[in-house]
Structure 1
């Protein structure tokens, strides 16, 4: 397999993930693009043109395509004491992530207007160690004007169906979500949804104190299931492409399977914390485990793995959502008052590889969930695979080497992690961005990326179905200062 160009560098690997297989491979790169991929037993020793740099990889490592993480909260500008582009992309690079897409909150301003996107772009200057793209936000105030952000190259629009945790990013109620879907379907866009039902959560006792069980009860499975049903009904009525963010409730999987069987344009992600952690192990006051939706029981975790196996869940992304340590309320251990979110952009690959191999799954599966799948979902056809014509974003992974997570060695800004002292398998040895080895001691070499142009969408149905009589609706947007006891951020 080859493409035109002059070879500049050749990676020779005894093991590489090419398509759905692990094979010996020789990967030829020019101008940051893969020109040719030769596979077979002779590939690691194949001759190379004179003057070509050669990277010979040992038989203890596997060459992977760079990961694409479509769910990262960088928080810059405005909350750079929580996280910023320099620290987030350093952590991403150390974890084998070569492209990330930044969420429209919790930065200030939130990315709900072209001016806010401009502020975001300015804040990236000279700071990107990997490539970064951007989601826009869909809030009540910008409905009817979403096309402005779409035309600027955002990858889609995030909305909440309940309070987001910050008042400047209010949720959409049921009618507003449908209006957003109709608008977005009109230009072939994508709506990504934090799917928890506000009314269901408001009916629960608010969390308080150090017991994790109380927090878990405050965010019941039924809140996710009802919200997922609402999204599916909206997709059915508008044919808007939609995506369920950070699925934690396995009870929603039958609804999702049925929607996909119906042919609805719906995709779903889950996250490393839902696939590795479980509520029974969370000790009183361990607020570094707090996130929304919450980490649920071990049995629920295994059902999520079943959803990955059968393709119901499409992606695994980090939902990297950091904050300053004080907001985690380690002083009181109060789950009601602590800010929610788990920072894991550096650890996603070893977490998922460690768990996948225990279940008889392989590195090609991990690549499908964390590289090829997210790249396809975002429309980034030039990355996510080792193939001719793709960008030479590559990761050298030692899959049988292990390490212990030490918070002080993580690259994200604040050393808070739910994985402290855990042993994980899979060490990222080197990462290449467009064929060049990432050197964190040198200048930041990443760039901003934007949504590729897409063809005009088909017209939505002329006579949408009426909503079911029992369809849950979201509560109206709340006003005033955010209440961390009820409105943890999230995702």
Structure 2
């Protein structure tokens, strides 16, 4: 391995590359991957060797759907604790959602406030989505120029008053503006009319909550998005797809050349409505966890490429907001630290490989957000890695989680895949679930 300036070599019998899983030695120089060499390649003089044995070396996960809530609601989640949880779970890059913080990221000034809070606290690299809300059309291009990776909007009530949803005419106007600079709109796609006609959620019964967010709300919203994306030529991404019934719509639109992609989340791939106990509002999210048959159809959509990526939608809150009433409790599942083992547990049962998981949870999210230095173990990329013991299991203990409020739908579950360590630009940032000092950088669109 005659590579100049190599300072670190990570060696494993299972390195997850874009070409598959194989024994290799990965050379790192100045924070980037310099070479992926044969397993027995000599270590260059002066370089440090980290021999991982049979633990798998994956690209660090890229989680493009994280609600950090800082500033303004840092008692729900702050940049320090969120990025510690990310590092402990093998997530080396996250992209923060523009809402639940105060102010929301809907102007350049608000972006600067959030960046100032995040910069000294980040244990992993952090990028930002901007927000598209009523009245900020003139802020979209300046936010784009300031480095946000795209724009988030809601088609129905967001749950917080400072981030209103876009009515159809305002959605069309935002899509037209964003198309003008070839930006990206990421969308919470539930139709407000369908939701208004459904029975309201109330009480402890999960069945009642599920009935309040019917699949048709997603289907109708996505059909409308497809029509507008076709009309304006805008890049559009469907967030947290819950209903597999929308998969044929998405597949048909993509065959036509409509620029639309979709994600789903670990909780939709691992949990089912049938197993949610009444009153267990740790499982509440919008759109909701649906039935087992729907879960299997989502897995099929991942396998055939209709669903592009898997990201957490980590949306925490204080424990008091997770009351036993599904009508009143905050809707959000905290899983930032657990996404990799949760998805791997179910993926391995279905015959999927670590290469599949890396594609869904690292390569595809990095591509979505335009982070071309992230997402793969190949020369030229940042030396960001997650080291996983894929055959080992652990039982989820909420007290071992690093996010601020230890509320999780995964409590007590036994999962496959122990994250041994995480590495950011060739620096180990977490080991055996314990993060180190903050080492993250703030990421901006179009800038290294």
TM-score, normalised via structure 1 length: 0.89
Q: Which residue of 1 aligns with 2:212?
A: 218
SS at match of 2:421: strand
Matches of 1:199 and 1:5, distance apart in 2: 61
The alignment status of 1:446 with 2:434, answered yes or no, reads: no
Per-residue CA deviations over 1:292-316 (Å, capped at 9, x if unaligned) read: 0000000000000000000000000
Matches of 2:171 and 2:123, distance apart in 1: 35
How far did residue 20 of structure 1 move?
3.6
How far did residue 44 of structure 1 move?
2.5
Match of 2:414 among 405, 415, 423: 423
Match of 2:394 among 396, 399, 403: 403
Match of 1:51 among 29, 46, 50: 46
Matches of 2:222 and 2:96, distance apart in 1: 23
Matches of 2:105 and 2:34, distance apart in 1: 37
Unaligned runs of 5+ in 1: 455-491
| Contact map agreement 2:242 2:288 (CA 8 A) in 1 | yes
Count of residues in Structure 1 that have an aligned counterpart in Structure 2: 445
Q: Which residue of 2 aligns with 1:463?
A: none
Matches of 1:281 and 1:63, distance apart in 2: 33
SS at match of 1:141: coil
The structure having more radius of gyration, on CA atoms, is 1
How far did residue 145 of structure 1 move?
2.6
Match of 1:308 among 292, 302, 305: 302
Matches of 1:441 and 1:421, distance apart in 2: 23
Q: Which residue of 2 aligns with 1:282?
A: 276
Match of 1:293 among 287, 291, 298: 287
Match of 1:272 among 244, 253, 266: 266
SS at match of 2:39: helix
| Contact map agreement 2:56 2:388 (CA 8 A) in 1 | yes
TM-score, normalised via structure 2 length: 0.98
Q: Which moved more, 1:241-250 or 1:14-23?
A: 14-23
| Contact map agreement 2:175 2:185 (CA 8 A) in 1 | yes
The alignment status of 1:99 with 2:93, answered yes or no, reads: yes
Q: Which residue of 2 aligns with 1:412?
A: 403
How far did residue 260 of structure 1 move?
0.5
Q: Which residue of 2 aligns with 1:30?
A: 29
Per-residue CA deviations over 1:351-378 (Å, capped at 9, x if unaligned) read: 0100000001100000000001111111
SS at match of 2:123: coil
The alignment status of 1:89 with 2:83, answered yes or no, reads: yes
SS at match of 1:144: helix
Matches of 1:191 and 1:56, distance apart in 2: 42
Match of 2:424 among 433, 436, 439: 433
Q: Which residue of 1 aligns with 2:352?
A: 361
Pair 441,219 (structure 1): closer, same or farther in 2 beyond 3 Å? closer
Per-residue CA deviations over 1:252-275 (Å, capped at 9, x if unaligned) read: 000000000001111100000000
Which 4+ stretches in 1 moved above 4 angstroms? 439-442
Q: Which residue of 2 aligns with 1:207?
A: 201
Matches of 1:436 and 1:421, distance apart in 2: 32
SS at match of 2:63: strand
| Contact map agreement 2:63 2:365 (CA 8 A) in 1 | yes
Pair 123,257 (structure 1): closer, same or farther in 2 beyond 3 Å? same
Pair 224,136 (structure 1): closer, same or farther in 2 beyond 3 Å? same
Pair 183,107 (structure 1): closer, same or farther in 2 beyond 3 Å? same
SS at match of 2:85: helix
Alignment of 1:333-344 (within 5 A): 333-344=324-335
Matches of 1:441 and 1:362, distance apart in 2: 27
RMSD: 1.3
Matches of 1:320 and 1:442, distance apart in 2: 21
How far did residue 441 of structure 1 move?
6.0
| Contact map agreement 2:318 2:405 (CA 8 A) in 1 | yes
Per-residue CA deviations over 1:179-231 (Å, capped at 9, x if unaligned) read: 00000000010000000000110111211110001100000000000000011
Q: Which residue of 2 aligns with 1:154?
A: 148
Q: Which residue of 2 aligns with 1:11?
A: 10
Matches of 1:417 and 1:168, distance apart in 2: 26
SS at match of 2:242: coil
Matches of 1:324 and 1:277, distance apart in 2: 22
